């Protein structure tokens, strides 16, 4: 199953440079899209691009988890700047991320343009269109959350056209995401056979559509799409396709990868160049014993904050499943002062950063919790369904359920949800985005940064979004800078 889809990923490596060139009118590009098989191969390349952007690239956590109160980097790596809020438009990872996202979007645009020119059986054509739009939507979803207004490009561009694009509003970006995911939901099949595990399904599109409506309902748009989001998310829950795992640690184990706890996963394969998952390695200290982390850790590890560690309630099983608090270094000394994330730290591994463990891009628990949040935003109901869902999450973690006496109103439920999501999704690159969409980032991060004497770096909501890379502005004067950045 995984081997089949990953083989197609690898079959594109020699030809990827032909597929994502700008201008796309290159003869080598046009000659590629001749058969349904080639369109399918191009789609595998698009999945590979999504996997690269969301997991393999270091910016995937340096711009998300490192920005939040779950981590803090005092050294002057890229995420030292993002975690201290000292980044400028010259920070290298900003351009790396920006260009990578648009490179992959260009890939999806080209697939959509070329596939209509050849004969493809109707069912396949519907699926391929849905997959390309699904992937494009996820790329734009990351872009709009990182930068706010960004250029909206849905067709292939020549170099001259690329020099003339301007930024579209965040609302326009979300409208395009919504169109793409709605189309994908109507075009994609509900399931695949084992050989096609990892491809987007109708349920993945529906769940992401619900999630993006939750984001539209928060900062900065505040569109009040809660009822629509709830309907979509409830449809995924009622589908019966997914399972709430009773043991939290089981969610991230190799033997359960791409299982019924995952609405959408990104697949990885160890032992094939560029196809392994780097996540377990890069979260571990560079000098960790090879008995603890095979092949050791990374000098670019994610540094966990004391604030996160102390925020867990006594007995919360998620803490033990998420954080390695004590470990041996390569001199066999016991270290207790440098905890690291151990999520996904299992499965086959053949070299550093080369693990065969799939990344759950959207898990069922997120669908449940977003649905509960949407219910509470429509109307607070004491001990109602929204309570039942959060208490189910708590009880799995070994914690006592909460009642309306402890959470007496809508505002208090929001804070309860914020805390449960922090512990549930720690190091899954969600915390910073949660703080921004709930407009809580300034309130939460200023006292956190004060601990490190860095609170002066975060003075306004302008820092909710990153600066546009200076190199982008230098080549296109139509692209303006975000407020608050020079």
The Cα–Cα gap between 363 and 344 comes to: 14
Contact 227, 31 (CB under 8 A): no
pLDDT of residue 24: 36
Indicate whether 175 and 294 sit together in one domain.
no
The Cα–Cα gap between 34 and 51 comes to: 26
Indicate whether 183 and 295 sit together in one domain.
no
Residue 486 inside a domain? The answer is: no
Average pLDDT along the chain: 92
Q: Could you tell me the residue range of the domain that residue 317 belongs to? A: 279-357
Q: Residues 58-113: pLDDT tens digits?
A: 899 999 999 999 999 887 777 899 999 999 999 999 999 999 999 999 999 999 99
pLDDT of residue 14: 31
Tokens for 179, please give them: 């169109």
Percentage of the chain lying above the pLDDT 70 cut = 94
**pLDDT reading at 328 higher than 60:** yes
Exposure class string for 37-60: b at 16+ Cβ within 10 A, else e: ebbbbbbbbbbbbbbbbbbbbbbb
pLDDT confidence band for 17 (50 / 70 / 90): very low
Q: At what angle do helices 202-217 and 170-187 cross, to 10 degrees?
A: 160
pTM of the model: 0.94
pLDDT of residue 76: 77
Contact 101, 141 (CB under 8 A): no
**pLDDT reading at 8 higher than 90:** no
pLDDT of residue 27: 40
pLDDT of residue 28: 54
Indicate whether 331 and 468 sit together in one domain.
no
The Cα–Cα gap between 407 and 416 comes to: 8
Contacts 24+ apart (CB under 8 A), 391-396: 392/244, 392/368, 393/365, 393/368, 393/369, 393/420, 393/424, 394/420, 396/244, 396/245, 396/246, 396/247, 396/248, 396/317
Indicate whether 163 and 283 sit together in one domain.
no
pLDDT of residue 29: 62
Q: Residues 193-243: pLDDT tens digits?
A: 999 999 999 999 999 999 999 999 999 999 999 999 999 999 999 999 999
Residue 391 inside a domain? The answer is: no
**pLDDT reading at 26 higher than 90:** no
Tell me, rounded to whole angstroms, the distance of Cα 287 from its chain centroid: 28
Judging by DSSP bridges, how do beta strands 359-363 and 262-266 pair with one another?
antiparallel
Contact 201, 362 (CB under 8 A): no
Residue 110 inside a domain? The answer is: yes
Residue 336 inside a domain? The answer is: yes
pLDDT of residue 180: 98
Indicate whether 167 and 285 sit together in one domain.
no
For the segment 305-317, the average pLDDT, to the nearest whole number, is 97
Q: How many independent structural domains does the chain possess? A: 2
Instruction: Give the HSE-up count for residue 66: Cα atoms under 13 Å, Cβ half-sphere.
Output: 29
pLDDT of residue 74: 83
Last residue of a domain, one of 292, 327, 357: 357
Residue 432 inside a domain? The answer is: no
Contact 322, 304 (CB under 8 A): no
Alpha carbon distances (Å) from 221 to 169, 172, 216, 438, 465: 10, 11, 6, 11, 14
The Cα–Cα gap between 386 and 397 comes to: 17
Contact 293, 344 (CB under 8 A): no
Residue 251 inside a domain? The answer is: no
Q: Among 8-12, 29-33, 270-274, 291-295, name the one with the lowest average pLDDT.
A: 8-12
Indicate whether 184 and 286 sit together in one domain.
no
Residue 48 inside a domain? The answer is: yes
Q: Residues 394-449: pLDDT tens digits?
A: 999 999 999 999 999 999 999 999 999 999 999 999 999 999 999 999 999 999 99
pLDDT confidence band for 5 (50 / 70 / 90): very low
Tokens for 296, please give them: 């050791």
Q: Among 26-30, 319-323, 443-447, 471-475, name the one with the lowest average pLDDT.
A: 26-30
Last residue of a domain, one of 357, 379, 412: 357
Residue 150 inside a domain? The answer is: yes
Last residue of a domain, one of 357, 374, 391: 357
Q: Residues 236-277: pLDDT tens digits?
A: 999 999 999 999 999 999 999 989 999 999 999 999 888 999
Indicate whether 183 and 287 sit together in one domain.
no
Indicate whether 166 and 295 sit together in one domain.
no
The Cα–Cα gap between 348 and 84 comes to: 35
> For the domain that residue 88 is a member of, what is the CATH number?
1.25.40.890
């Amino acid at each position: 199953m995984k081997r089949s889809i990953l083989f197609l990923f690898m079959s594109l490596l020699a030809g990827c440079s032909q597929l994502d060139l700008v201008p796309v009118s290159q003869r080598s590009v046009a000659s590629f899209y001749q058969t349904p098989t080639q369109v399918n191969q191009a789609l595998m390349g698009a999945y590979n691009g999504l996997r690269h952007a969301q997991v393999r690239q270091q910016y995937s956590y340096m711009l998300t988890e490192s920005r939040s109160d779950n981590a803090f980097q005092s050294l002057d790596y890229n995420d030292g700047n993002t975690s201290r809020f000292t980044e400028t438009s010259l920070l290298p990872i900003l351009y790396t991320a920006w260009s990578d996202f648009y490179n992959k979007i260009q890939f999806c645009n080209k697939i959509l343009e070329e596939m209509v020119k050849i004969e493809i059986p109707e069912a396949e054509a519907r699926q391929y269109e849905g997959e390309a739009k699904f992937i494009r939507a996820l790329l734009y979803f990351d872009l709009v959350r990182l930068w706010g207004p960004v250029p909206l490009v849905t067709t292939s561009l020549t170099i001259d056209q690329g020099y003339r694009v301007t930024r579209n509003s965040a609302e326009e970006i979300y409208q395009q995401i919504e169109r793409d995911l709605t189309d994908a939901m109507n075009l994609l099949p509900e399931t695949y056979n084992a050989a096609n595990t990892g491809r987007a399904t109708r349920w993945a599109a529906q769940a992401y559509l619900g999630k993006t409506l939750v984001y539209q309902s928060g900062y900065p748009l505040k569109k009040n799409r809660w009822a629509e989001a709830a309907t979509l998310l409830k449809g995924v829950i009622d589908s019966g396709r997914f399972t709430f795992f009773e043991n939290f640690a089981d969610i991230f184990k190799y033997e359960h990868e791409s299982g019924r706890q995952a609405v959408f996963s990104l697949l990885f394969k160890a032992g094939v160049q560029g196809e392994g998952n780097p996540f377990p390695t890069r979260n571990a200290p560079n000098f960790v014993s090879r008995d603890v982390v095979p092949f050791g850790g990374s000098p670019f590890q994610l540094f966990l904050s004391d604030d996160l560690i102390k925020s867990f309630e006594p007995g919360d099983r998620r803490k033990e499943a998420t954080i390695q608090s004590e470990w041996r270094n390569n001199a066999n000394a016991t270290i207790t002062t440098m905890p690291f994330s151990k999520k996904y730290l299992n499965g086959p591994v053949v070299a550093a950063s080369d693990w065969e463990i799939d990344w759950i891009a959207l898990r069922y628990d997120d669908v449940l919790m977003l649905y509960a949040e949407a219910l509470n935003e429509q109307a607070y109901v004491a001990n109602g369904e929204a309570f039942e869902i959060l208490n189910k999450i708590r009880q799995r973690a070994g914690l006592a359920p909460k009642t309306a006496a402890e959470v007496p109103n809508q505002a208090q439920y929001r804070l309860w949800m914020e805390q449960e999501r922090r512990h549930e999704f720690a190091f899954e690159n969600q915390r910073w985005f949660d703080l921004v969409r709930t407009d809580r980032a300034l309130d939460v991060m200023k006292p956190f940064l004060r601990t490190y004497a860095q609170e002066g770096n975060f003075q306004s909501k302008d820092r909710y979004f990153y600066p546009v890379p200076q190199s982008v502005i230098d080549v296109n004067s139509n692209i303006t800078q975000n407020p608050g950045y020079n």
